[in-house]
Amino acid sequence: MKETWVRVAAEGDVPEGGTLQARLGSEPVCLYKIDGRVYATHDTCTHGRASLADGTVRGEEIECALHKGRFHIPSGKAVAVPCVRNVRTYAVKLEDGAVWLDGGC
């Protein structure tokens, strides 16, 4: 698998304990910072059309704003109904003060 790192945001723009919506090419992604570590998932909830960036971070989980389903942020695993399909996660690296995601497939 080929790695293709893409700069998606300044590291300082990702709030601790919060979310930041960004774009990886045409894909909306959601960035999170938990205990200083940055994670990334696809931004669209797998249950509906909601943006996970509008949700609430609870520990290592993101709670969708629309129907309160939840995902484990580091793994993308759906952990609370109505979400049953996992959300895609992305490899993250921090370099030159920026957040880079692996957009390879």
Residue ranges that bind ligand FES, judged by CB under 6 A:
45, 47-48, 50, 64, 66-67, 69, 82-83
Between residues 46 and 100, which has the closer beta carbon with respect to ligand FES? 46
Q: How far apart are CA 80 and CA 95, in angstroms?
A: 34
Least separation, in Å, of the C-beta of 51 and ligand FES?
A: 9
Q: How far apart are CA 61 and CA 36, in angstroms?
A: 15
Least separation, in Å, of the C-beta of 68 and ligand FES?
A: 6
Least separation, in Å, of the C-beta of 95 and ligand FES?
A: 32
Asked if 39 and 74 count as a contact pair (C-beta separation under 8 A), the reply is yes
